[in-house]
Every structure is written in structure tokens, then in C-alpha cells.
């Protein structure tokens, strides 16, 4: 009988220890999960200066977007970083360059004209854009592309 007495008490002690261990782990887990982790507040982003807007060469204004796309692609094949956009007038304008002076823009346009790459051109002068004006213009421009098919794609160079 003494043998069964000790065996039964050892089983009870072991079961109590298991229950106590599970209870302690559960309580610690619940308290650990209930705390909100402390994360350091992010540093404010440093403002990125906007690039200066200089003189640009406009070489086309089209009522048909396909014409603007074709002309833009033709210029890009000539290694001219041209772009087109929908102007508030409703015309798709084709432009390129960002020249620091009117004279530099005119010289570049005349050089391309003498090679037969472009024919007519117009030098677009820079305007004094305030940050608010520029932001509003970007939003209006983005809004003007809603519903306009995406045609600016390119090819991936492998």
C-alpha cells in the first residue's frame, strides 16, 4: 500500500506542475500580446527640391493623339527625349528639352531643323510656378489623362 501512496502523490505533483506551467505561460503570453509594440516615430522626409523649369522646344500640337504618339516615337528614334501631353486647349503637344536659355533652345532647334528632323518649332518660355500652382497643375494634368488610352509604353532592354 505504501507503494501506491507515493506513486499517486508523484502523479498529482507532476499534474499540478504541468497545470501551473501552462497557466504561467498562458498569462505571460496574453500580457505580452496585449501590449502595443513601441515603434520609433519615422523621421520626416526631407523635401526634394523641384527641378527648375527652363526653356522647352515644342515641335507639334495635334488634335489626334495618334499623330502626337507617332511624332514622339519618331523623335525618340533620333535619340531625342520627346514627350507628348494633353494641353488644356485640347491639343496633344509634343515637346522636348530643358534648356537654361532661350538662345540654347533656339540653337538646338535650328540644328535639328537643318538636319530635317524637325520643321517648325516654338520655344516655350519658363514660367514662375509657385509650389501650389505647380501642384494644382500636376493634378489637373493627371486628371486630364483619365480615360485617355495609355500609349507611352516602351520596350524593355534585356
The CATH number assigned to the domain holding 115 equals 3.30.70.1070
SS (H, E, C) 59-124: EEEECCHHHHHHHHHHHHHCCCCEEEEECCCCCEEEEEEEECCHHHHHHHHHHHHHCCCCCCCEEE
What range defines the domain where residue 67 resides? Answer: 55-144
What is the Rg, in whole angstroms, of the alpha carbon atoms belonging to the chain? 35
Give the Cα separation of 117 and 124 in Å (integer): 19
pLDDT recorded at residue 32 = 63
In a domain, 114, yes or no: yes
Q: Which of 29-38, 45-54, 92-101 has the lowest mean pLDDT?
A: 29-38
Give the Cα separation of 137 and 80 in Å (integer): 25
In a domain, 94, yes or no: yes
Average pLDDT, the chain: 79
Domain count, the chain: 1
In a domain, 84, yes or no: yes
Q: Which of 67-76, 100-109, 116-125, 133-142 has the lowest mean pLDDT?
A: 133-142
Give the Cα separation of 56 and 11 in Å (integer): 89
The band of 19, judged by pLDDT with boundaries at 50, 70 and 90, is confident
Cell of 34: 496585449
Give the Cα separation of 95 and 51 in Å (integer): 17
- Are 57 and 95 a contacting pair, CB within 8 Å? yes
* Burial of 76 from C-beta contacts in 10 A (0-12 / 13-18 / 19+): middle
Amino acid at each position: 500500500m505504501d507503494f501506491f501512496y507515493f506513486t499517486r502523490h508523484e502523479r498529482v505533483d507532476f499534474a499540478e506542475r504541468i497545470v501551473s506551467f501552462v497557466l504561467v505561460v498562458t498569462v505571460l503570453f496574453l500580457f505580452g500580446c496585449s501590449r502595443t509594440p513601441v515603434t520609433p516615430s519615422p523621421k520626416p522626409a526631407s523635401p526634394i527640391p523641384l527641378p527648375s523649369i527652363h526653356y522647352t522646344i515644342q515641335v507639334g500640337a495635334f488634335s489626334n493623339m495618334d499623330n502626337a504618339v507617332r511624332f514622339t516615337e519618331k523623335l525618340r528614334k533620333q535619340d531625342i527625349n520627346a514627350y507628348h501631353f494633353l494641353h488644356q486647349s485640347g491639343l496633344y503637344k509634343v515637346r522636348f528639352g530643358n534648356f537654361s536659355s532661350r538662345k540654347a533652345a533656339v540653337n538646338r532647334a535650328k540644328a535639328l531643323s537643318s538636319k530635317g528632323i524637325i520643321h517648325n518649332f516654338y520655344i516655350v518660355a519658363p514660367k514662375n510656378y509657385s509650389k501650389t500652382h505647380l501642384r494644382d497643375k500636376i493634378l489637373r494634368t493627371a486628371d486630364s489623362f483619365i480615360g485617355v488610352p495609355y500609349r507611352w509604353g516602351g520596350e524593355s532592354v534585356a
